[in-house]
Amino acid sequence: MEFEVEPTRVAHGSKLLPIISAAAIIAFLGVGIVAAERGTASSARPISAPPSSAPSAIAAAAAANATANVASAEATAQPRAFDPALVHCHDLSRGACMAVARAATGEVQDTGATTDRVDVWPSILCSDTFDCPPETLYRLQPLGSAVVHILGRKTVAWVNVGAVRAHVPPHITDPPPEAWIVRWFY
């Protein structure tokens, strides 16, 4: 079925032009609102599988999750295990390297893994928008990436680190760098 519609000239002073303009503006705003809601939902960190994904480990993690709320206050008060001697910096100043390594190590240790060695680079690891969500890159200034080796295993985690864009130049009151796990390799 084919329809042929001839173009119609809109007369100056016609009420059709404001109606079409209003419809276009409403459609544009609707698309923007939907995109913003999707952006908010996807701005959460990507879910990464912990190094041990055996069913017994998953059940143990679920049981441990029941007491996580009580233990979380205590865990945040205690410093994480971090050994600067195990950090290897590649083309990055020692201070910046340590900031990236500390954030990356903390993110990996939050999964229950013990870190062995950390290699740090000034670039971030991105192959798609899952690895580097646009919302995260918009919110954070990339600082670098780390390959975190897990103690006693061949497992490594690729971790990106960024700083919240709070002050230019950076200020002591700025929040600490944020890390997100890009990939696990077993």
pLDDT digits (tens, 9 = 90+) for 143-175: 999 999 999 999 999 999 999 877 777 678 888
pTM confidence score: 0.56
Evaluate whether 184 touches 155 at the Cβ level (below 8 Å).
Answer: yes
Tens digits of per-residue pLDDT, 86-98?
999 999 999 999 9
The whole-number pLDDT of residue 96 equals 93
Evaluate whether 119 touches 158 at the Cβ level (below 8 Å).
Answer: no
Phi, psi of 148 (to 5 degrees): -100, 120
Is the pLDDT higher at 77 or at 147? 147
The mean pLDDT value of the chain amounts to 76
Task: Specify the pairing of strand 115-121 against strand 87-89.
Answer: parallel
Q: 3-class SS at 182?
A: strand
